[in-house]
Amino acid sequence: MTASGPVVVSVQGVSKRFVIRKDKSLKERLVNAARSRQHREDFWALRDVDVDIHAGTTVGLIGPNGSGKSTLLKTVGGILQPTTGTVSRRGRLAALLELGAGFHPDLTGRENVYLNASILGLSRAQTDRHFDAIVAFSGIEKFIDTQVKFYSSGMYVRLAFAVAVHVDPDVLLVDEVLAVGDEPFQRKCMDRIKSFQKEGRTIVLVTHALDTVVEICDRALVLEHGEVQLDGDPRDATRLLRRDFEVVRQADQEAARAADTARPVARVERVRLLDATGAVTDAIGYGEPCAVEVDVQADTRLDDWVLGIGIDTPTGHGLWGTNTQLLGQRLEPLVGARTLRLEVPGLHVGGGQYQLHGAIATWNGPEVHRLPEACSFTVVADGTTVGHLGVAARLAAVTSA
């Protein structure tokens, strides 16, 4: 993407160091005061980060836990000061960085609206004009005169987000706290973010919802160990991060298998996706034929068994599944190792990242073993649809009113 607007946030050579103290109590700190260097450790949450954010863009910050995403967002918001480097900002900035940030627990919701709005630069008269809209958006009218220390986490987020989006910000910073709200409120927040985009405002978003990054962001930064690994197209960024996640997941699975002393009598060892030529692949085009190959192993003879496969989203939601029982195919008894292949004439799911799982069950009994997240793959969309379903459509007729 080529940014054309002015730079509203400039992060130049920013590093942030935290000191981790190993003393467990105040007494230990006093006793070890003379040797304090031996009982502390420097942790660099950010290292030499350079980012320019242009007006009217939506930038996603993604990465594994502990990668420095929230630290960078707080540094941009002025909550944290960098150890080295500079951060320059232009325009009014509103931040929703953590649960209850800027709220005083002993004040009511009404009082906190005015307090929060004043921190963000609004006068009392301006807040008066926005107050009814803020309360209506939050949906907590009945509790607006209750002390916020009695609010649920969802109520905190509702009110905080309502204030942040009604102070007319040029730059909106949003952390993962949006995941705390219920689904209707999350949809309302996403609608407001999209309306901000249409108005040409700048948004910086930290989230673990990678599909959301692809959907709404113009640009994404992948952070790992406090360093920017990639700054570019959201699809490239999420693909890189998911590839890293897959490496870690496979290592964890191998370690778990090595440590498992109570293995099931039969199990799924591996699952692979094959393209139309029979080659192992991790990417396939929309609607193309493919096959799923499954390695299974039985330590003792297993009669009347069933093999199942399925496609899941990265968050574990099942999209599709089948098994040999549903297909009306009985399998010969399983002893030792075997590889089976199920063919799929056309994979009609939308573009994005998916996972395959494999499972073994008995014909009229329980599941014996399941290997979740056994294989990750990408479906390359044809550009005519969005979402997980690959449903074709065409314009059939146009009628005049």
Q: Is 306 helix (H, G, I), strand (E, B) or coil?
A: strand
Model confidence pLDDT, tens digit, residues 226-263: 999 999 999 889 888 888 887 787 777 677 766 666 66
Phi/psi at 143 (5° precision): -115, 10
β 93-96/171-174 pair status: parallel
Q: For residues 235 and 379, give the distance between their C-alpha atoms in angstroms, rounded to a whole number.
A: 12
Phi/psi at 260 (5° precision): -80, 110
Confidence bin at 22 (pLDDT 50/70/90)? low
The owner of tokens 């440590």 is 259
DSSP bridge pairs for 270: 295
Q: Which domains are seen in the chain, by residue range? A: 7-22+39-242 (3.40.50.300), 264-380 (2.70.50.60)
Tell me the C-alpha to C-alpha distance, in Å, between residue 292 and each of 270, 275, 375. 10, 9, 10
Q: Is 21 or 16 the better-scoring residue by pLDDT?
A: 16
DSSP bridge pairs for 334: 302
Model confidence pLDDT, tens digit, residues 87-136: 999 988 888 776 556 688 899 999 999 998 888 778 899 999 999 999 99
Model confidence pLDDT, tens digit, residues 159-216: 888 888 888 889 999 887 666 667 787 788 888 888 989 999 999 999 888 888 888 8
Structure tokens at 137: 């958006």
Q: For residues 77 and 84, give the distance between their C-alpha atoms in angstroms, rounded to a whole number.
A: 16
Residue 272: the pLDDT is 96
Q: For residues 6 and 55, give the distance between their C-alpha atoms in angstroms, rounded to a whole number.
A: 6
Confidence bin at 1 (pLDDT 50/70/90)? very low
Q: For residues 108 and 126, give the distance between their C-alpha atoms in angstroms, rounded to a whole number.
A: 19
Structure tokens at 37: 């260097």
Phi/psi at 364 (5° precision): -120, 25
Contact 352, 300 (CB under 8 A): no
The owner of tokens 């941009």 is 76
DSSP bridge pairs for 62: 222
The owner of tokens 């360093």 is 227
Residue 52: the pLDDT is 96
The owner of tokens 């003792």 is 300
Q: For residues 194 and 34, give the distance between their C-alpha atoms in angstroms, rounded to a whole number.
A: 55
Residue 298: the pLDDT is 94
Residue 30 has pLDDT above 70, yes or no: no
Q: pTM for the full model?
A: 0.72
Q: For residues 177 and 155, give the distance between their C-alpha atoms in angstroms, rounded to a whole number.
A: 12
| Mean pLDDT of the 294-314 span | 93
Q: For residues 325 and 364, give the distance between their C-alpha atoms in angstroms, rounded to a whole number.
A: 10
- Collect all residues with Cβ–Cβ distance below 8 Å to 96 and sequence separation of at least 6: 157, 160, 161, 164, 172, 173, 174, 175, 177, 178
| % of the chain at pLDDT higher than 70 | 89
Q: Is 323 or 34 the better-scoring residue by pLDDT?
A: 323
Model confidence pLDDT, tens digit, residues 45-98: 999 999 999 999 999 999 998 899 999 999 998 889 999 999 999 988 888 776
Confidence bin at 154 (pLDDT 50/70/90)? confident
Round to the nearest angstrom and report the end-to-end CA distance of the chain. Answer: 39
Confidence bin at 2 (pLDDT 50/70/90)? very low
Residue 27 has pLDDT above 90, yes or no: no
Q: For residues 76 and 11, give the distance between their C-alpha atoms in angstroms, rounded to a whole number.
A: 8
Average pLDDT, the chain: 86
DSSP bridge pairs for 185: none
Residue 240: the pLDDT is 87
Write the DSSP symbol of residue 389. Answer: B
Q: For residues 350 and 391, give the distance between their C-alpha atoms in angstroms, rounded to a whole number.
A: 8
| Mean pLDDT of the 325-347 span | 94
Q: For residues 254 and 268, give the distance between their C-alpha atoms in angstroms, rounded to a whole number.
A: 13
DSSP string, 146-213: SBGGG--HHHHHHHHHHHHHHS--SEEEE-GGGGGS-HHHHHHHHHHHHHHHHTT-EEEEE-S-HHHH
